[in-house]
Structure 1
Amino acid sequence: MSNVRKILNVVDLSQIFDQYFNSNENGLVRLRNPNLKSLDHDFLYHLELGTNDHDFVKMFGDVKFICTGGTAIRMKNFINSIEPELSKKLKTKLEIWQHSSSRYSMYKVGPVLAVNHGIGVPSLQILLNELFKLMYYAKMKNPVIFRIGTCGGVGITPGTVVITNEGVDEEINPYFVQVVLGKKIHLPATLDRQLVRELKALVNSDDPYDTIIGKTMCTSDFYEGQGRLDGAFCKHTIADKMDYLAKLQEAGVVNIEMECTAFAALTYQAGIKAGICCVAMLDRFKGDQIRTSNEVRKQWELRPQDIISRYILRHL
């Protein structure tokens, strides 16, 4: 209990984080909440799955890879695209399982589970809490989780794939701020560097696009929070926007999205290996409106999915 009190009383956990939130022993996910032991039934409300109603070990115990992305259709397309490769690799015809709640949709084929997380940190944070509990109850061993998505580029060519090596907030701080009982807690937005290198090594020389590594800035807003000029409100000038983007670029930021700091911080806190791979839909230096056709955008969305699929197939 003394350790718990110490954690709750500090504002910045970066110096002691590894002491309490290290990798999981024996490959099993550990939950840092002793209160869960007192529950006789745990209902994952937003996934509409419960420990009394579902056999988590039977349903999800074989999962090794979890992929998340903003929309349900993107996750469904990912599962549909990887199923033939998985069936071929495992030398058996795999069936696709799916389950939808009012908030999230889940798709599973063999050892791969895909779930949409919605848009923004709050929606993602809810999903990750329930996913981590699902992993725990299913007794998954050494799971790897990815966020596959889209983003806005900062000085990079549209269509470029970005592998995130660190998440930063709007003030370029490398942590996620969570308010608990009125206190601000700073959780390091740390991602597995070895996994970053592995993903980059999977890039093929004949890929018709660039894949780069860099910092990703997370914002809680799609419009003003990103310095955009096309929202319902705008209290800054074009020059203000350009100055801000230049500051981000100077700090090593190559793209902007709305989930990375929470994704990195919560997976790190849970001791789960995690990676983020997104495709840039535009260069924010050159505008805020996406001008490419729907057909081109759909093709671009497949690019990070291809890299994650290569990782999964290699590690099977």
Structure 2
Amino acid sequence: MLKGSIVAIITPMNEKGQICRTSLKKIVQYHIKNQTNAIVSVGTTGESSTLNKKEHKDVILSTIEFADGKIPVIAGTGANSTIEAITLTKNLENSGIYACLSVVPYYNKPTQNGLYQHFKKISENTDIPQILYNVPSRTGCDMLPKTVIKLSKLKNIIGIKEATGDLKRVYQIQKHTKKNFLLLSGDDSTALEFMHLGGNGVISVTANIAAKKMYEMCKYALEKDFKKAKLINNELMPLHNILFIEPNPIPIKWAAWKLGLIKEHTLRLPLTPLSYNSQILLKTILNQSKKIL
């Protein structure tokens, strides 16, 4: 089930910086309506790094509540402390969560053996399926394919979100892992090519505001109809690019607010509001993309 267009949803907040359940419910319903294949709650795009532990759990549980079994929910439960990652994961047992997305430990810069031991320890302490998340641009540490392959042999590690943009890794990992090991892109702009090479889908930022088109693009790609998928992806490419004009989730939160999907575009420090010049550029692309939003 965890294939195709998987959205990494934003975490909506009110003007005081508190979690806005009303907007969160609206977002989840938007994705159900537009056939998004699954939701990642409290990932990078969901501002996991600025939520406290109670908020982290509450947002995930609220997402599960609003999904009401109509769309699978994946929880972001990674941390740079192995013990904390285990705790975040175990807090969600029997919650109805479909899987967990666990990021490579950031700041510590562990060795490849340290990465293996970290994810192995998490796997040993839960039965919830685990999806690895490799994003060196944010963590300062790159989990190499050989480590991913080794981890894929553990009982409940079911896939990886690979956000390096290195398309050679699709083949390198796929060649040495079991057939049903999930390969998910973490980069919207190269996601179609990633799928063309054998990937199973994308955990997407763009899908926050272009859910239907992202679903259709991934659907055609999984059906091997890359001609139709490419036509849609060409329409989406300006969004893929502009939504990273400033660090994620700054632009996507502003865009979702501008399109009426959330009430406010509040962020928490050290994230700051989208700059005026970037607003002008993003607004232009949103206007040009009206037909697909």
TM-score by length of structure 1 reads 0.27
Structure with max Cα Rg: 1
- By relative contact order (CA 8 Å, sep 6+), the higher-ranking structure is 1
